A and B are shown apart, each in its own frame.
Chain A
Amino acid sequence: MTTTAFRGGTVIDQGGRRPGDIVIDDSSGAIVAVEEGSPADRTIEVDGCYVVPGFVDIHSHLRQPGNEMAETIESGSRAAALGGYTAVVTMPNTDPCTDSVAVVSEVLDYAADALCEIKPSAAITLGRSGEALSPMAELVAAGVRMFTDDGTGLQDAQLMRRALEYASGLLTDDGTSIVLSQHCEVSALSQGGVMHEGAWSSRLGLGGQPAEAEELMVARDIALSRLTGMRVHLQHLSTAGSVALVRAAKAEGHPVTAEAAPHHFTLTDAECAGYDPVFKVHPPLRPASDVEAVRDGLRDGTIDAVATDHAPHTPDSKELPFDTAPPGMLGLETAFALAHTELDLEMERLVELFSTAPARIAGLADRQGGPIEPGRAANLAIIDPERTWTVDRGALASLASNTPFHGRSVTGMVRHTVFAGELVVVDGKATR
Chain B
Amino acid sequence: MTVALGKHLLSMADLDRVDIERYLDLASSFAEVQKRDIPKVPALRGKTVVMAFFEDSTRTRTSFDLAARRLSADVVNFSVSSSATKKGESLRDTVETISAMGVDGIVVRHASSGVPNRIAEWTDASVINAGDGWHQHPTQSLLDCFTIWQRLGTGDNGLEGLKIAVCGDIKHSRVARSNVEAFSRLGAEVVVIGPRTLFPPSFDGWPVKVEPDIDAVLPDLDVVYLLRIQQERLNEGLFPSTREYRAQYGLTTERARRLRPGALIMHPGPMNRGVEIDPEVADDKQAVVLDQVAAGVPIRMAVLFGLIGPGQAVDRNEFDRIEHEENR
Contacts and interface: CB of A to CB of B under 8 A. Distances in A.
Contact of B112 (A197, A203, A276, A322): A322
A323 B90 contact: no
A274 interface: yes
- Listed residue (B92, B110, B202, B206) with the most chain A CB atoms within 10 angstroms of its CB: B202
Contact of B114 (A197, A198, A316, A322): A322
A199 B118 contact: no
B92 A319 contact: yes
B177 A321 contact: no
Interface in A155-211: 197-199, 201-206, 208, 210
Contacts of B110: 321
A275 B115 CA distance: 8
B112 A321 contact: yes
A321 B177 CA distance: 19
Contact of B133 (A197, A205, A210, A276): A205
A205 B90 contact: no
A199 B118 CA distance: 21
Given A275-B118, A319-B90, A321-B91, A203 B113 contact: no
Nearest to B176: A205
A212 to B, nearest CB: 11
B114 A199 contact: no
Contacts of B133: 205-206, 323
Contacts of A324: 112
- Listed residue (A205, A208, A322) with the most chain B CB atoms within 10 angstroms of its CB: A205
A202 B203 CA distance: 7
B155 interface: no
Contact of A321 (B118, B201, B204): B118
Interface residues of A, number: 21
Given A199-B205, A210-B201, A319-B91, A205 B117 contact: no
B52 to A, nearest CB: 13
Contacts of B118: 275-276, 319, 321-322
B174 A274 contact: no
A275 B117 contact: yes
Nearest to A323: B112
A132 interface: no
A197 to B, nearest CB: 5
A205 B201 contact: no
Nearest to B171: A202
Interface in B198-234: 200-206
A205 B204 contact: no
Nearest to A202: B200
Contacts of A223: none
Contact of A275 (B113, B134, B171, B201): B113
Interface in A258-277: 274-276
A321 B203 CA distance: 24
B207 to A, nearest CB: 12
Given A319-B90, A320-B91, A204 B205 contact: no
B135 interface: yes
Contacts of A198: 201-202, 204
Contact of B202 (A199, A320, A322): A199
Contacts of A204: 113-114, 135
B312 to A, nearest CB: 23
A323 B201 CA distance: 17
A195 to B, nearest CB: 10
Given A205-B133, A206-B134, A323 B203 contact: no
Interface string B87-126: 0001111000000000000000010111101100000000
Given A319-B92, A320-B90, A321-B115, A205 B205 contact: no
B140 interface: no
A316 B201 CA distance: 31
Contacts of B93: 316
B284 to A, nearest CB: 31
B136 interface: yes
Contacts of A201: 200-202
Contact of A203 (B90, B92, B205): B205
Interface in B151-210: 171, 174, 177, 200-206
Contacts of A206: 113-114, 133-135
A202 B135 contact: no
Nearest to A322: B114
Contact of A202 (B91, B114, B204): B204
B91 A199 contact: no
A404 to B, nearest CB: 16
- Listed residue (B177, B201, B202) with the most chain A CB atoms within 10 angstroms of its CB: B201
A240 B149 CA distance: 47
Interface in A296-353: 316, 319-324
A205 B10 CA distance: 13
B134 A205 contact: yes
B201 A208 contact: yes
A202 B117 contact: no
A210 B114 CA distance: 21
A197 B114 CA distance: 16
A319 B133 CA distance: 17
Nearest to A324: B112
A20 B25 CA distance: 78
A205 B132 CA distance: 9
Contact of B174 (A199, A205, A275, A321): A205
A275 to B, nearest CB: 3
A204 B92 CA distance: 21
- Listed residue (A197, A203, A208, A274) with the most chain B CB atoms within 10 angstroms of its CB: A203
- Listed residue (A198, A274, A321) with the most chain B CB atoms within 10 angstroms of its CB: A321
17 contacts: A202-B201, A203-B200, A203-B205, A203-B206, A204-B113, A204-B135, A205-B114, A210-B201, A274-B114, A275-B118, A316-B90, A316-B92, A319-B118, A321-B91, A321-B114, A321-B115, A322-B113
Interface of A: 197-199, 201-206, 208, 210, 274-276, 316, 319-324
Given A198-B201, A276-B118, A316-B93, 19 more contacts: A198-B202, A201-B202, A202-B171, A202-B200, A202-B202, A204-B135, A205-B114, A205-B135, A205-B136, A206-B134, A275-B114, A275-B115, A275-B118, A320-B90, A320-B91, A322-B113, A322-B118, A323-B133, A324-B112
